[in-house]
């Protein structure tokens, strides 16, 4: 079967929220990303699927420079990320630019990454107050409002160790939201959770998608990818093997390798 084009799916003249051109990533002799051309427009919810080792998390981490690409171009919110050649990978040319862009592109990690010595409320307030230099009282009000939205206001004074895994991940999402980001990146946000806790996190993510948030989600949650995403990206061996609307890809017959990938989850 013919694959969908690995090139940009959108021909919109509107500036992309995030785009890449020819993105490569090497770890020694191992090439993990092999020339990714990608575009996410404002308001898109893009689920990034693929088998383990396909490059999904590496790609996501390159988008906010937690991993430095080996070659290629990244553009965030209509701004070229300033990178310069390095011995193996590209290097950051303007750290202040990266720090500024990271306030607009928030990341939610698989393992929560909350500060264990801070309460939930303090976790939310730390970056807005000390990085964005926002008014503490205003940030506190906003943080409490967001905790109420994700069902954690009654846990504001708890420490992460006192929370369930699902509560910790909801706190991590709340911490990202209080930064008022333009783009949210999720790196397998439910994979570290017990099955009975997955639903509470996915509900928060579904609500964010319904608000028109721009979201890129590395996930194995097929129902979320099928029912919530505006577009699905399927990576295989460091390349975009297929992409398109969920109804087209999940309908079958569009890409043989994607059909095989999804069938493994259906059999489970």
- What are the tens digits of pLDDT across the range 117-142? 999 999 999 999 998 999 999 999 99
Contacts of residue 154, defined as CB under 8 A and 6 or more positions apart, other chains included, come to none
Looking at residue 7, what is its pLDDT?
37
Map tokens 């994979």 to a residue.
191
Looking at residue 157, what is its pLDDT?
98
In the chain, what percentage of residues exceed pLDDT 90?
Answer: 86
Span 152-179, average pLDDT: 97
Span 160-185, average pLDDT: 96
Q: What is the distance of C-alpha 207 from the center of its chain? A: 16
> Nearest Cα to 174, choosing from 198, 199, 197, 208?
208
How far apart, in whole angstroms, are the C-alpha atoms of residue 258 and residue 252? 8
Residue 5 has pLDDT above 60, yes or no: no
Looking at residue 265, what is its pLDDT?
77
The CA-CA-CA angle for residues 223, 19, 95, to 5°, reads 115
Q: Across the chain, which distance is largest between two alpha carbons, in Å?
A: 58
Q: How much is the CA Rg of the chain, to the nearest whole Å?
A: 19
Looking at residue 268, what is its pLDDT?
53
- What does the domain layout of the chain look like in residue ranges? 16-267
- What are the tens digits of pLDDT across the range 23-63? 999 999 999 999 999 999 999 999 999 999 999 999 999 99
Contacts of residue 202, defined as CB under 8 A and 6 or more positions apart, other chains included, come to 190, 221, 224
Q: What is the distance of C-alpha 127 from the center of its chain? A: 19
Give the tokens for residue 204.
Answer: 């928060």
> Nearest Cα to 80, choosing from 89, 48, 72?
72
How far apart, in whole angstroms, are the C-alpha atoms of residue 159 and residue 156? 8
Looking at residue 13, what is its pLDDT?
57
In this prediction, residue 6 has a pLDDT band, given cuts at 50, 70 and 90, of very low
> Nearest Cα to 231, choosing from 216, 213, 219, 246?
246
Q: Which of left, alpha, beta for 244 (phi over 0: left; psi -120 to 50: alpha)?
A: left
More confident residue, 254 or 267: 254
Task: Classify domain 16-267 by CATH number.
Answer: 3.40.50.300
**β-bridge mates for residue 242, sequence order:** 234
Residue 71 has pLDDT above 50, yes or no: yes
Provide the mean pLDDT of the chain. Answer: 92
How far apart, in whole angstroms, are the C-alpha atoms of residue 170 and residue 164? 10
- What are the tens digits of pLDDT across the range 186-243? 999 999 899 899 999 999 999 999 999 999 999 999 999 999 999 999 999 999 999 9
The structure's pTM equals: 0.91
Contacts of residue 4, defined as CB under 8 A and 6 or more positions apart, other chains included, come to 242, 243, 244, 254, 255
Looking at residue 267, what is its pLDDT?
61
Residue 9 has pLDDT above 80, yes or no: no
């Amino acid at each position: 079967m013919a694959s969908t084009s690995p090139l940009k799916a959108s021909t919109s003249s509107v500036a992309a929220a995030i785009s890449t051109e020819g993105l490569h990533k090497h770890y020694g002799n191992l090439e993990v990303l092999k020339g990714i051309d990608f575009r996410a427009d404002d308001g898109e919810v893009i689920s990034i699927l693929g088998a383990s080792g396909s490059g999904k998390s590496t790609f996501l981490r390159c988008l906010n420079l937690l991993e430095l690409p080996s070659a290629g171009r990244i553009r965030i919110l209509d701004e070229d990320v300033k990178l310069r050649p390095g011995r193996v990978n590209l290097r950051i040319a303007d750290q202040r630019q990266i720090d500024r862009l990271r306030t607009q592109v928030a990341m939610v990690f698989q393992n929560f990454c909350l500060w264990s010595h801070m309460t939930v409320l303090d976790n939310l307030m730390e970056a807005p107050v000390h990085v964005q230099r926002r008014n503490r009282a205003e940030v506190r009000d906003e943080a409490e409002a967001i905790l109420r939205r994700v069902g954690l206001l009654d846990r504001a004074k708890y420490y992460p160790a006192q929370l369930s895994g699902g509560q910790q991940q909801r706190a991590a999402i709340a911490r990202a939201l209080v930064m008022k980001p333009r783009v949210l990146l999720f790196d397998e946000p439910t994979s570290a959770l017990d099955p009975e806790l997955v639903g509470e996190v996915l509900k928060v993510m579904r609500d964010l998608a319904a608000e028109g948030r721009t979201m890129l989600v590395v996930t194995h949650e097929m129902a979320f990818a099928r029912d919530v995403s505006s577009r699905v990206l399927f990576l295989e061996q460091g390349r975009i093997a297929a992409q398109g609307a969920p109804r087209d890809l999940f309908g079958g017959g569009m890409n043989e390798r994607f059909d095989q990938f999804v069938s493994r989850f259906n059999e489970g």
